A and B are shown apart, each in its own frame.
Chain A
Amino acid sequence: MKLLLKAGRIINPVNNTDEIGDILIMDGKIAEIGPELSCEGAAVYQASGLVIAPGLIDMHVHLREPGLEAKEDIASGTRAAAAGGFTTIACMPNTKPVVDNSILVSGILQRAEDEGVVRVKVIGALSKGQEGKELAEVGDMVYAGAVAISDDGHYVDNAELLLNGLEYLARFDSPIISHAEDEALAGDGFMHEGAVSAMLGIKGRPAVAEDIAVARDILLAEYTGGSVHIAHVSSKGAVELIRQAKKRGVRVTAEVTPHHLALTDDVVATFDTATKVNPPLRSADHLEALLAGLKDGTIDAIACDHAPHAFEEKDREYRFAPSGFAGLETSLGVILTKLYHTGKFTLNEIIERMTAAPARILKLNSGKLEVGVPADLTIIDPDYEWIVDSKRFYTRGKHTPFDGMKLKGKAVATIVNGNLIMQNGEVHE
């Protein structure tokens, strides 16, 4: 099968290029990139006025399978990814059971092959059952295909466990992804601690709980020479700690979510449980620091922390509702609206942080546009205006703080392995 993308604005952040041209896809690979290409028998996709980017990668997704299928499964989660323009996603291991051995890694990869529509990478647990006690068989999981190791959802409270994990994983060159929030300080809080929480009476999760956790993780990475990736950075203190650590040459990388870049804790005043997430939505000073950190490279990647929950779980009193919400189908739109259309970031910068950066962290052979690589591409209409309607989501998680919001910019086609799997929001089987 041949597909010819015509007259698109090709943005390739790996070479920092941005020019109008055509891309020919043959046998699932990029066959040619250049001006005015033609090919006998190829289906033509007219991309004039549209952006052609490497397929978007989200390195922080909860697919919830196995065990939590009321929230999401591989079929629904990968369709949500395709709808949002993502060609590769990495799924977190906090399922039931926890993905803490190689059989589960292989099983998810196999099921994703059978039922998924985008590429699925697996992240294995650091500790058995994510209990924070014994090291899981992390080497075995890496050999089975795990791209990173994480106890996401929980902070690794036991410093010795993280230290051992970092040292042991050096042999496998696989990063540990840390959900960095000190449990003793943040554990029983439900929102950012600030002026808003003070008057809502909701127990806060102070920013210092994240700062402390990030500081410890950085110090252990520095001590062991291991590689740590800080998930969903949300505090200005954490940004500064990572900035300083990178200057010292510590092997630390970081990601930020669209919601932490776009929303502040004011939105919690509605008590809408769609605003409940860990780490919490913070105040404007933190948001500004995150934007600056993403701009100057302190924060490497954008990842949405897609964390869908079933309706009945979120349909509760604020303090009893679980944290997290769906993100795959709003991620790009929110980022383009808040970062590109405000003039803060170029398209090249945004696409780099959603493709090449996560590929670099997870050591994936994707996130670039060059002849011979698998044809994973996302076609974006940066000026498409739309209103978020969670009822139309492919994900089972219908709660999102962006519901009803007007966004500008959307993926209009997703191509995985040369196959056009999403067009104009519709995912093809």
Chain B
Amino acid sequence: MLTWAGIICQNGLCITPCHHGREFIYLGGMVVTKSRQVSLRNKSILGLENMTVAEMELVLDTAKEMKNIIDRDIKKVPTLRGKSIINLFFEPSTRTRTSFELAGKYLGADVVNITTSASSVVKGESLRDTLMTVEAMGVDVIVMRHQAEGAAHYAANTVSPLIINAGDGAHEHPTQGLLDMFTIKQYKGNLQGLKIAIIGDILHSRVARSNIWGLKKMGADIHIAGPQTLLPRFIEQTGIHVHNRVEDALEAADVVNVLRIQLERQKKGLFPSAREYARIFGINQVRLALAKPDALIMHPGPMNRGLEIAPDVAYSEKSAIQEQVKNGLAIRMALLFLVLMGGKNIETIA
């Protein structure tokens, strides 16, 4: 047990406001102080389009420390005690929702899940009224997933709790973008200059868009590939490389991020069959040999094994897919901490 400024810190970690309104992260005995002129406190996280490099780096650095907590025997810390978080999910989700729920709970917040299929939304309640109802209960953060692009922006403009976008249609999924960056950094050291291939259904993918916004700002060299029908027209104007041959994107890639293919796209005529997709665009060992020998394999999940990714690739030692899930939890802990408790000058004492 450590004490500082009269506040008891348990489990080796204590994050608490000090008397000057600045915040400190405690992690054990040695002291390293890092001062930043950046803060996410009281900011909604709507997308990586709106985040600066300094803000993203703050999240990544904070997540590194949060990750240590996940492996502990007793994970709960009192940092966000008294804060309440609502998971408002209008679309199905396993990993993102669970991840946010555990992130809030590990940090001591109260977390409530609302699944819209069992809420007043089925009675036709508007998004405004649902949000205002949640607001009236005094919640601090609304984590929201919604099928409509811009729904998180709408929420942030409509109610006072902070909004964390957990996916809005095909627009953005910022926590996935951050956890992907975090994972790449973990294995590759940094992001600058890396060739990153994003493969599959870019058109309908919020994961792809958050990756593109974030990684571009971090200086990575982004190549997207897939059937031309699943690549957004005009996206090359944003300064990324677009290929309709998967092989061209894989060539000497440092990272291969494989996206989920939704089978309903086939019904709309965007590709002829699952079999053909796997044969021409699927990531298997033969195609992967085009990438760098130490290439990292990523997938946001849930996977269609044997369709967009071969099982022997997904479970290979190059795969960071499991690590992505763990990192997702760390990133969400970091974000919840930073928007609720982060200070103007964050001093990290490790």
B212 part of interface (Cβ distance < 8 Å):
yes
Chain A residues with CB below 8 A from B49, complex form: 199
Taking the closest CB of chain A, its distance from the CB of B334, in whole angstroms, is 25
Chain B's closest residue to A192 (CB) is B234
Q: Do the beta carbons of A317 and B234 come within 8 Å of each other?
A: no
A197 part of interface (Cβ distance < 8 Å):
yes
Q: Do the beta carbons of B126 and A316 come within 8 Å of each other?
A: yes
A80-116: CB near B (< 8 Å → 1, else 0) gives: 0000000000000000000000000000000000000
Q: List 9 A-B contacts (CB under 8 A).
A: A197-B234, A198-B233, A201-B209, A202-B149, A271-B149, A316-B127, A317-B127, A318-B149, A318-B150
Interface hub of B150, B232, B237 (most chain A Cβ within 10 A):
B150
Q: Do the beta carbons of A199 and B149 come within 8 Å of each other?
A: no
B43 part of interface (Cβ distance < 8 Å):
no
Q: Do the beta carbons of B234 and A194 come within 8 Å of each other?
A: yes
Chain B residues with CB below 8 A from A198, complex form: 232-235, 237-238
- Report, nearest first, the 6 A-B pairs whose CB atoms are least far apart: A271-B150, A201-B170, A317-B148, A198-B232, A195-B237, A201-B171
Categorize the interface residue count of chain B: 20 to 34
Assuming the A-B contacts A199-B212, A200-B171, A201-B172, are A317 and B235 also in contact, with contact meaning beta carbons closer than 8 angstroms in the complex?
Answer: no
A386 part of interface (Cβ distance < 8 Å):
no
Chain A's closest residue to B231 (CB) is A198
Taking the closest CB of chain B, its distance from the CB of A77, in whole angstroms, is 26
Distance A107 CA – B146 CA, assembled complex (angstroms):
44
A15 part of interface (Cβ distance < 8 Å):
no
B112-151: CB near A (< 8 Å → 1, else 0) gives: 0000000000000011100000000000000000101111
Chain A interface (Cβ within 8 Å of chain B)?
193-195, 197-202, 204, 206, 270-271, 312, 315-320
Q: Do the beta carbons of B154 and A271 come within 8 Å of each other?
A: yes
Chain B residues with CB below 8 A from A320, complex form: 148
Interface hub of B154, B212, B235 (most chain A Cβ within 10 A):
B154
Distance A315 CA – B159 CA, assembled complex (angstroms):
13
Q: Choose among A194, A197, A312, A319 the residue that contacts B148 (Cβ–Cβ < 8 A).
A: A319
B105 part of interface (Cβ distance < 8 Å):
no
Distance A206 CA – B204 CA, assembled complex (angstroms):
17
Taking the closest CB of chain B, its distance from the CB of A226, in whole angstroms, is 35
Q: Choose among B126, B128, B146, B169 the residue that contacts A201 (Cβ–Cβ < 8 A).
A: B169
Q: Do the beta carbons of B154 and A317 come within 8 Å of each other?
A: yes
Distance A315 CA – B127 CA, assembled complex (angstroms):
9
B206 part of interface (Cβ distance < 8 Å):
yes
Chain B residues with CB below 8 A from A312, complex form: 126
Distance A310 CA – B149 CA, assembled complex (angstroms):
22
Chain A residues with CB below 8 A from B149, complex form: 200-202, 271, 318-319
Distance A197 CA – B203 CA, assembled complex (angstroms):
10
Q: Choose among A194, A197, A271 the residue that contacts B153 (Cβ–Cβ < 8 A).
A: A271
Q: Give 5 A-B pairs besides A193-B233, A202-B150, A317-B127 with Cβ atoms closer than 8 angstroms.
A: A198-B233, A199-B213, A201-B204, A270-B153, A316-B126
Distance A198 CA – B213 CA, assembled complex (angstroms):
12
Chain B residues with CB below 8 A from A195, complex form: 234-235, 237-238
Q: Do the beta carbons of A318 and B233 come within 8 Å of each other?
A: no
B213-241: CB near A (< 8 Å → 1, else 0) gives: 10000000000000000001111011000
Q: Do the beta carbons of A201 and B154 come within 8 Å of each other?
A: no
From residue 162 to 177 of chain B, which have CB atoms closer than 8 A to chain A?
Answer: 169-172
Chain B residues with CB below 8 A from A201, complex form: 149, 169-172, 204-206, 209
Chain A residues with CB below 8 A from B127, complex form: 316-317
Assuming the A-B contacts A317-B127, A320-B148, are A202 and B171 also in contact, with contact meaning beta carbons closer than 8 angstroms in the complex?
Answer: yes
Chain A residues with CB below 8 A from B170, complex form: 201-202
Chain A residues with CB below 8 A from B128, complex form: 315
Chain A residues with CB below 8 A from B206, complex form: 201
Distance A319 CA – B213 CA, assembled complex (angstroms):
22
Taking the closest CB of chain B, its distance from the CB of A313, in whole angstroms, is 10
Distance A200 CA – B233 CA, assembled complex (angstroms):
12
Distance A317 CA – B153 CA, assembled complex (angstroms):
9
Chain B's closest residue to A201 (CB) is B170
Q: Do the beta carbons of A315 and B126 come within 8 Å of each other?
A: yes
Q: Do the beta carbons of B126 and A199 come within 8 Å of each other?
A: no
Chain B residues with CB below 8 A from A315, complex form: 126, 128
Distance A319 CA – B153 CA, assembled complex (angstroms):
13
Q: Do the beta carbons of A318 and B148 come within 8 Å of each other?
A: yes
Chain B residues with CB below 8 A from A200, complex form: 149-150, 171
Taking the closest CB of chain B, its distance from the CB of A197, in whole angstroms, is 7
From residue 81 to 130 of chain B, which have CB atoms closer than 8 A to chain A?
Answer: 126-128
Taking the closest CB of chain A, its distance from the CB of B229, in whole angstroms, is 13
Distance A387 CA – B206 CA, assembled complex (angstroms):
37
Distance A194 CA – B233 CA, assembled complex (angstroms):
7
Distance A204 CA – B151 CA, assembled complex (angstroms):
18
Chain B residues with CB below 8 A from A318, complex form: 148-150, 154
Q: Do the beta carbons of A317 and B151 come within 8 Å of each other?
A: yes
From residue 181 to 227 of chain B, which have CB atoms closer than 8 A to chain A?
Answer: 204-206, 209, 212-213
Chain A residues with CB below 8 A from B153, complex form: 270-271
Taking the closest CB of chain B, its distance from the CB of A276, in whole angstroms, is 10
Chain B residues with CB below 8 A from A193, complex form: 233-234
